[in-house]
Structure 1
Amino acid sequence: MARPKHKLSSAELKAKPPGKYSDGDGLWFHKRPDGGAQWFLRYTLFGRRHEMGLGSFPAVSLKAARQEAEKWQAVVRDGKDAIKERERQNREAERNLNILADIAKDAFESRKAELKGDGKAGRWFSPLELHVLPKLGKMPVSQIDQRDIRDTLAPIWHTKADTARKAMNRLSICMRHAAALGLDVDLQATDKAKALLGKQRHTATNIPALPWQDVPAFYQSLDGGSVTELALRLLILTAVRSFPLRNIHLDQIDGDIWTIPAEAMKGRKGATSDFRVPLSQEAQKVIAEATPLARNGFLFPGVRKGVVSDMTMSKFMERRGMAERPHGFRSSFRDWVAETTNTPHDVAEIALGHTVGGAVERSYRRTDFLEQRRKLMERWALAITSQSTHVVKLEVPR
């Protein structure tokens, strides 16, 4: 059957008086009394007549209107309602326009419960915030490919390898999160980007640590009574990580025991129990000295709000001309234990809050060696408050 000949021409459209004019094949031109005009498609499906708007004139030209009409008539011939099909496609397109910044925030919110301190320190989100979102944050996540990721992380791929690795990991989580939301994303984009970026040349280096022989002199120099100095003293005495130390709350202290909530303990994945830290007499003295400075129950408050930052303690050591960092005192303690005591391996590792043994072994071993660790930490306190650094073998009962 011959296709109907088009009835309208571009030249006559503006001069048309108000009314509805057929161009053929279901395409109509509607000129309103106010001078405005629009296109619509008239079609019949399952015995019912429908009218579908195709845009206003002259924004949509006659040629463009005919192309749209032809596209949607093909949909009708397939037995689908053109209006409903267009709505479905619009919903899908709208869903796929979710920008990465919003997806990243949603992914972060959904993972807060499994992050230390509910992610309040911002360490999970910061690699994205600093190195990915400034370039890709406003981009629809469905349009992000390996080239975009490569170009974004290439400047730090070798020079800041660990940060780049974390950023890539977080981005991969965001892409999987988007897929779980029903968005059309390339789940292999990060792996492809890694292949384009190549193997990282950067070699990881350990955090600089002060030799244990030099710890006593440094500890005894922390005599200013400031929050930073008191925090560093307790950090050294307990050999814990910076986060639980900086967030220590008076409610967590009971006599000579400091109980760190399980969620604040890094390196104890899957742990459901809190971690008890025995406090030496020297550690209790530091806590007593810091208590008057506490704010909202936090022993080491920040200058304006929150708690003292890890950067504040690091900068304090840097101003002393030191390359070492606060976290390194854990290594100082571990070296001291290995070189000057006969402490069993498991006791030494648990003193650092490390998980020891497999799941089955841990299920049978119910002790946390508190009494043995209590004696060990008392001896460590004596060692760093002593004027002498003479090595003495210390026996720790098995």
Structure 2
Amino acid sequence: MAHATNRLSASGVKAAPVGKHADGAGLWLVKREDGGAQWVLRVTVHGRRREMGLGSFPSVSLKAAREAAEKARAVARQGLDPIKERERQQREAARNIHMLSDIALDAFESRKAELKGDGTAGRWFSPLELHVLPKLGRVPVADIDQRDIRDTLAPIWHTKAETARKAMNRLGIVLKHAAALGLDVDLQATDKAKALLGKQRHTVTNVPAMNWRDVPAFYQSLGGSVTELALRLLILTAVRSGPLRNLHVDQIDGDIWTIPAAAMKGRLGATSDFRVPLSAEAQRVIAEARKFARDGFLFPGAKRGVISDMTMTALMDRRGLSERPHGFRSSFRDWTAEATQTPHDVAETCLGHTTGGAVERAYRRTDFLEQRRALMERWSRMVSLETNVLRGLRAHG
């Protein structure tokens, strides 16, 4: 009936006293003692009365309240609960806002400070960017389940096992980041996906390394080009090729080479630089390399920048060797284990590895510099013995 609805007027709503005032058809204005007011709709769904808030007055006008009430009544006439339907729509809207690509980028930004060079090389993000986001980037993160992940990574799960493992790991971190943001995600989705994908058939192979007993002969065969001097110093210091190729003369102070913390892989979050003791032979190699220095870099590239990792690898290829420059770290580590009585922590620190648990590291202040200095001098003499003998013979010949 006409008199049962639209009982209130705009002016009447403003002047209404404290209490409940019916507009009709279940729409009520509830005026509070503090002066505020709330619109409430009473509807019956499946024989049960429900009260649905439609907003506060004056933010929601009388006209807007009536329109919202009519939409809710239409939902109820379909046999649906308008409150639950509104919550469902809100969840859908939230899922549509938080796409996986956006959450992945946000997770990456929040972790940049922990990554080498603030992640500028892109290695942390690239497994996601190349193998996950092209298929799942526009999917709401809350909708992603183990089947989505399985279907996405299945093409590379066995053929590119290490890349797939990294992509799965990064995706797990992104899902945890989404949960921290308060989003409704399945934190077990990656573990479930692994179960669906099965054990990887591909076996990760180690970088080919030269037997430490063969290193002296190889060292002796190296000449005095930029690449050969870089290889010499790589062998003598047992560092990774990245810090070595980017070695700047300002990093050298006497018999100490200081590598910035940000350049040390495996020491994420480290606040201190890494000191490398230089043996007498290492200092001699550095002195010889200084004549090639350009823009302060000890091992410059042919045209610009510094030599690449492939430059040293190519030299070994031309010698018919399957071993790789990075493998000399393993050569050194095997030598310490088989030919010396070096304590584990000292040997691992030579390689720039962190040892012990977080609590132990917090209390340990030493970097074993003096012990490492003696060990690296011993390694250097073993490696360069034949070279030094020949050098001495030439000097007296």
- Using the size of structure 1 for normalisation, the TM-score is 0.69
**Counterpart Cα distance in 2 of 1:360 and 1:89:** 48
What is the CA distance between 1:324 and its match in structure 2? Answer: 1.7
1:116 Cα deviation from its structure 2 partner: 2.3
Please list every run of 5 or more consecutive structure 1 residues that lacks an aligned counterpart in the other structure: 2-24, 26-43, 55-65, 390-398
| Contact residue 95 and residue 140 of structure 2 kept, 8 A | no
Determine if the alignment matches structure 1 residue 368 to structure 2 residue 367.
yes
Question: Contact 1:262–1:272 (CA<8 Å) still a contact in 2?
Answer: yes
Question: Contact (CA 8 Å) 1:96, 1:183: kept in 2 or not?
Answer: no
Q: Of Structure 1 and Structure 2, which has the larger fraction of its residues in helix?
A: 2
Q: Supply the distance in 2 between the matched residues of 1:276 and 1:207 (Cα, whole angstroms).
A: 25
For residue 202 of structure 1, what is the aligned residue in structure 2? 202
The 8 Å contact of residues 132 and 152 in structure 2, kept in 1 or not, is answered as: yes
2:46 corresponds in structure 1 to none
Is 1:157 aligned to 2:157, yes or no?
A: yes
Quote the residue 2:329 is aligned against. Answer: 330
Which secondary structure does the structure 1 equivalent of 2:386 belong to?
A: coil
Q: 1:187 to 1:257 in 2, by over 3 A?
A: same
Q: Following TM superposition, by how much is the alpha carbon of 1:198 offset from its aligned partner in structure 2, in angstroms?
A: 1.4
Name the counterpart of 1:347.
346
Q: 1:104, 1:174 within 8 Å by CA — same for their partners in 2?
A: yes
Identity %: 73
Matched residue, 1:70: 74
Cα 1:186–1:315 change in 2 (3 A) is: farther
Task: Please say if residues 96 and 184 of structure 1, whose CA atoms lie closer than 8 Å, have aligned partners that are also in contact.
Answer: no
Asked if 1 retains the 8 angstrom alpha-carbon contact of 2:207 and 2:326, the reply is yes
**Equivalents in 1 of 2:327, 2:341: separation in Å?**
22
Contact kept, 8 Å, 1:96 with 1:142, in 2: the verdict is: no
Partner of 1:124: 124
* Per-residue deviation, 1:252: 2.1
Q: Is the 8 A contact 1:97 1:141 kept in 2?
A: no
Map 1:277-316 to 2 at 5 A.
277-301=276-300, 307-316=306-315
Matches of 1:231 and 1:126 in 2, distance apart? 29
Q: CA deviation at 1:193?
A: 0.7
SS at match of 2:63: strand
Aligned partner of 2:111 in structure 1 is: 111
The answer on 1:135 being equivalent to 2:122 is no
The alignment's TM-score, normalised by the length of structure 2, stands at: 0.69
Q: 1:142 to 1:315 in 2, by over 3 A?
A: farther
Structure 1 residue 155 displacement after superposition: 2.1
From the superposition, tell whether residues 342 and 184 of structure 1 become closer, same or farther in structure 2 (CA, over 3 Å).
closer
Gaps of 5+ in 2: 2-24, 26-53, 389-397
Q: Distance in 1 between matches of 2:369 and 2:311?
A: 31
CA shift, 1:114, in A, is 0.9
Tell me by how many angstroms 1:312 deviates: 4.3
Measure, in 2, the Cα distance between the counterparts of 1:377 and 1:144.
51
**Cα pair distance change 1:303/1:272, threshold 3 Å:** same
Cα distance in 2 for residues equivalent to 1:233 and 1:91:
61
Q: Deviations over 1:89-126 (max 9, x none)?
A: 57962663443333322221210111123223332122
